[in-house]
Structure 1
Amino acid sequence: MLIPMADYAAGVEVANDLVSTSPTVRGAEALSGPADLAGLLAAYDVAAPVADDVEKVRFLRGEVRAVMESGTEDEAVERLALLAGHAGLAPVLRRDPSGRWRWYVPTARDAALVGEVAALVGVALLGLVRALGHDRFRACAAPGCGGVFADASRAGRRRYCMPELCGNRQNVANHRARRRAVAR
C-alpha cells in the first residue's frame, strides 16, 4: 500500500469511521466481523480481512481514540509516530495519476492488515496535526454521545462525530423544541 502524505483527509476519515464503530459511540459493536472491516477499508488497497484481524483492529481503534483524546500536541504526535511506524517504511517520491511528483509512505510487503491500517491512520493524522493543529481533535457536541473525531474540514466547524447520525438527532431535537415554543 502507498499512503499519500499530502492528502491526509481520506486517512482522517478512516480514523473517524474506525473510532465511530465503537459501542461507546453506537451503543453496540459495529465492527463485528471481517465483512464490517472490509466495508470500512473498501477504498484502500489492503488484504481481505480475516476474523483474527477484527480483534486487532478493535484494539487499534482504542489507540486511535486515545490519540484524539490526547491532552497535548506533543503527546498526540508521539502516539501517531508509533502508529505510522507499525508497517510504514521510509517515504518515497512517486508520480501520481496526473503525472505530478508526490510523497508516499509505502508499507512493508508482508505487513499485517492492522499494521497497514495503523500506518494509514498514523500518517493521515500526523498530516492533520501538521497542517491544521491538535485542536482539530474533538469530542462530539451531541448530548449523550461519547464519540470523538478529527476535523479535516477546511472551515474547521465540524461538531459531530457522525453528522448523519448525531447531527441529525440534534437538528431534529432543536426543530421539535422550536415547534413546542411556537405552539405555546
Structure 2
Amino acid sequence: MHYHKNRLAYRKRTEMVVDLVRQIEAEGQFPQADYAFDNGVLTLELTQMIEASGKHWVSEIECSRLVLWNGQWRRVDAVATELRQQHPESFRSLQVHCRNGEVKSFWAFTKTLRLKRYGRKRLVVVHQQSDLSDAPRFLLSDALPWESARVIQTWSYRWACEIFHAFCAPSGRL
C-alpha cells in the first residue's frame, strides 16, 4: 500500500518547478524577476508560462541540443567547435558584473537561432578562457534583444547548487 500511495504522490521536478513559477507569479511578490534554471527543468510548459507572465528566462542547454544553423539541424556543440576552429574572432571579450559584485571575464558568441519546439531563441556560447580551450557553456534565452553580457549576468545569479532561481536585477530590470 505504501508503494502505491508514494507512486501516486510522485511528481517530476519539472512539474514542481512549473507549480513553483505559477505560485510565484500568482503572489506577485517579484514583479521584476527574471528566471534562470538548469537544462534539467527546461520544458516548453515552463518557458511558455514565464513568457506569458511578461518575464524572461535563461537556461543552460545540453551540448547535444539541435539548433538550425545555416539551414541545417546541427548539434550546438558541433556549431561551437566549428566557430572556435574556423572563426575564433566571432567570440567577443566581455566583462560581466556577476553576483556579489564580482566582475569576470568571458568570451562569448551570440546569435538568435531556431530550436525545435521552442522557436526563435537567443543562444550564447560562453568560454572562460581567452584561448577558447575550455569546454563551452551553452546558454539559451527567450530575451532576443539581450546582449550576451546580460544573458551571462542573469545566469550568474543562479546558485550552482540549485536547479531553479528567480532573479531580480539589483536595479530592477536592466
TM-score (norm 1): 0.24
Q: Which has the higher contact order (CA 8 A, sep 6+)?
A: 1
The answer to which structure has the higher helix fraction is 1
The answer to which structure has the higher strand fraction is 2
